[in-house]
Amino acid sequence: MPERWLQVKGDPSVRAFLFEQQRVQSLFDEHIDQVLHVMHDLLLRKGAFHVKVHFSSSQLTCWFYDNPYSYRVYVREEATAASFLESLPDLSYEGRQPRIGIDRIQPVLDEFRRLRLTDEQIYLRNASINRINGMIGMTFSCDGSHYIDCEDFFRRLDCFGKDF
């Protein structure tokens, strides 16, 4: 991944109708705090090193240390079930050097929440955290994608509508 902020413009037809659309409440929106808690635990104690949340379609895509070449997809009620986290084994990060530390995960998730819910027309569609390479990935309703180093993400929050 690049050491810089990579921005990719998406489908021009999506951008052309941006202000004619409005965010529709999804299952993950209705349970956003629970979903972000699940992401937090997956990244901290369940061995996931890369987790992507798809808010509109209500799915989590995860890559785990015990099988890094395959991803697992958890959809809708499966990811929000009370027993979901307990159905997964605890896996430690022992011996690994993630670029995103434990103390940065919750602040990133808090920003995902803000970016999803703040605006009804320009909003976060999906977002990912990769603890190993330190990258944050985001796609917005305008179909633009951003890949940015975690520390750079926090330095540039004003670019994502955060007032200081």
Given a contact cutoff of 8 angstroms between Cβ atoms, the answer to whether 65 and 96 are in contact is yes
pLDDT of 161 strictly over 50: yes
Dihedral of CA 59/106/123/144: which sign?
A: negative
Token look-up 């009804």 returns: 120
Q: What is the mean pLDDT of the chain?
A: 89
* pLDDT at residue 11 in the model: 62
Q: Which one-letter amino acid corresponds to residue 117?
A: L
SS3 state at 119: coil
pTM of the model as a whole: 0.89
Q: What does the pLDDT average to over 25-35? A: 97
How many whole angstroms from its chain centre is CA 120?
18
Token readout for 127 is: 């977002």
- Given pLDDT bands bounded at 50, 70 and 90, which one contains residue 12? low
Euclidean distance between the first and final Cα of the chain, in Å?
Answer: 29
Which distant-in-sequence residues (6+ apart) come within 8 Å of 97 by Cβ?
none
Spatial separation of the C-alpha atoms in residues 122 and 54, rounded to whole Å: 15
